[in-house]
Amino acid sequence: MTGLFRIAFKLLVNDRSKFTALLVGITFAVFLMVMMMSMFSGILSRSCAPVYNIGAKVWVMDPAVNNTVSSIPMPDYVLSSARSIKGVSYAVPLYYGGAQVKLRNGSYQSVTVIGLDDTTLFGRPELIEGRIEDIFAENGFLVVKDAEYSKLGSPPIGSELEINDNRASVVGIAKVASSGLFGVPTLYTTFSRAITYIPTTRFTTSFVLIEPRSTGDIPGIQREIARLGYEALTRQQFVDKITAFYTYKTGMGTNILLMTSISFLVGLSISGQTFYTFILENLEKFGAMKAIGAKGRELVTMILFQAFFTSLTGYGLGVGAASSFMLLMRMRMPDYAAQLTFSILGFALLMVTIIAGVSSYIGVRKVLQIQPFDIFRG
Amino acid sequence: MGDCVIRASKLAKWFGEGDARTIAVRDADFEVRYGEMLYIVGPSGSGKTTLLSMISGILKPNGGQVTIEGRDIWAMTDDELADLRLKKIGFVFQDYHLFPRLTTLENVAIPLILKKMEWNEAMRNALQYLEIVGLKERAELQPVKLSGGEQQRVAIARAIAGQPDILIFDEPTASLDGDTGRKIVEFIKTRILNDKRCVIIVTHDSRIYEYADTIMKMEDGRITGLETNHLHEK
């Protein structure tokens, strides 16, 4: 069979114009599909970044909350009640809000301020400079050193910022697993300082973070929180809720789905059309091979090999082009939100397999239909 | 001439049904022997190609029987028929049907590849057959760069590469000028035909009749005459 594969390979690649058209079509389609899905995946990942960065196992919130940014402050009794629920190891408040930082040059920069429980500092980031206990010092703030850090003028430890006419001293430089979605720098401080510095509503707790005694206690905790009229979600449930919000309620998911579908159709039409032309051009020769003694399944194998070889080569080139593009973009724009995951690679491979399958199906039908007698008859 | 290799008896083929039925071949009885060069001649539509297709295992007859070396070929399965064509029959088509994207050598090697011969060995063997037809030095060229006569010879090399007992030529001179056509048929007669092989040629080119051992005339689907060319009797 290897000899037949070589014949099939040579028939394919020696027809340079069609092979190039096939490769360009599939590569372009894969590039677009991978880019669309990677951007969406990047956006979703960024939108869930605070959930991962803070790392609590159970998050308590108002049921109307769809993401970390649009938190609805809760009364203090929610925290107290949570602490008294059976199976709760401990529960802490979290402040999550936005503020304006006045920079040294007089301009303002939006920031996200995260206020950690004063006692435990639960959810604190990893420090790369400074000491965590300095957060308790007067006006102490930690600045996250991510792609947005430079928007604050890359403040070193000891520098000062101005938040709502309050002085904020940078006492530590932190790093987090992932930056947020909206391209603003992140500051960490204590819960009490956050609600002092930033104007808040009557209630101040954005989220209650719960550490359950065991995973088995979570359903009971969720039931008890629900009786209070609030919602307790595990980390994954909260991530899913945020993902569902951006996917289905913002139009973002629909647009990405449309673009991915269009890319698939572009690839399918270019590949299908070109491959069909390729088969048509060689149809009589395949008929002649049948007359010589080639079996139908041998010709089908040749065609499948050609279709899958082209598709997988196009897939490799498309993925390579997309990842190179993302790498290039990230070099120029550090906060570029696109991430290539194994599931995206798998999905793109599935789409390419469908393209190859459909393209070869058309060819296979034609080749199986051609009769050696048609060759004699002309 | 040697033993009988192909025997056709009461062969019949029609296309369509009812009023639209067209009888292409009726009651065809004949045999071909090793070492024989048989011409099937007749006007267009006389049933030559249909008859050729039935005796070569390509088109199933509606009636009658074809045996090759005593085996009823139409009692075989599709795979057995394909194997029979691969091992016993070599075809040279009117339009040659060479793959334009393969080299001359690779085109000749196709029957060997289909016989599952290893690639390098197939190429070595194919080169020998190209040498037989005098085109060894053209092995790496694509068929489009060859003249009509050369393409015909490549098709012959491909047909004989599988070392078949039966060689079938469909209008071998139709696309060639008179001189080249005669040279090709003379080449077939002197270099390709031997005691262990028979050649069947469908043609209506009377300029090459002189090379035939037997000429079978067809008209309206019937065999109307079977002439032996005594000049070439062995």
> Span B35-48, mean pLDDT?
90
* pLDDT at residue A87, as a whole number: 93
Measured between alpha carbons, how far is residue B208 from residues A233, A253, B148, B200, B216 in Å? 92, 74, 17, 13, 14
Q: Using one digit for the tens of pLDDT, what is the confidence trace for B79-119?
A: 999 999 999 999 888 888 899 889 999 999 999 999 999 99
Q: What is the mean pLDDT of chain A?
A: 89
Radius of gyration from C-alpha coordinates of chain B:
18
Element (H, E) at B150: helix B148-161
Chain A residue with minimum CA distance to B202:
A376
Confidence of residue A378 (pLDDT cuts 50, 70, 90): low
Percent of chain B predicted with pLDDT > 90: 54
Identity of the residue in B79, B101, B117 whose CB atom sits nearest the CB atom of A10: B101
Contact between chains at A11 and B99 (C-beta distance less than 8 A): yes
Helix axes A235-248, A252-292, angle to 10 degrees: 80
Which pLDDT belongs to residue B26?
92
Q: What is the mean pLDDT of residues A228-245?
A: 93
Residue ranges per domain, chain A? 2-46+251-377, 75-229
Long-range contacts of range A167-170, CB-CB < 8 Å, 24 or more positions apart? A167/A139, A168/A101, A168/A139, A168/A141, A168/A197, A169/A137, A169/A138, A169/A139, A169/A140, A169/A141, A170/A141, A170/A142, A170/A143
CA–CA distance, A194 with A99 (Å, rounded to integer): 10
* pLDDT at residue B189 greater than cutoff 80: yes
A261 touches chain B (CB under 8 A): no
> What per-residue confidence (pLDDT) applies to A250?
85
**Closest Cα to residue A178, out of A57, A331, A335, A39?**
A335
Residue whose structure tokens are 């009229």: A229
H helices then E strands: how many in chain A? Answer: 11, 10
What residues of chain B lie within 8 A of the CB of A11, using their CB? 99, 101-102
- Residues A185, A148: Cα–Cα separation, whole Å: 5
pTM of whole model > 0.80?
no
Predicted pLDDT of residue B234? 44
Contact A291 B113 (CB under 8 A): no
Q: Tell me if chain B has a CB within 8 Å of the CB of A2.
A: yes
Burial category of A38 from C-beta neighbours within 10 Å (exposed 0-12, middle 13-18, buried 19 and up): buried
Residue B232 clears pLDDT 70, i.e. is over it: no
AA identity, residue B170: D
Mean pLDDT of B40-62: 91
- Nearest-CA distance A335 → chain B (Å): 49
pLDDT category at A251 given cuts 50, 70, 90 is confident
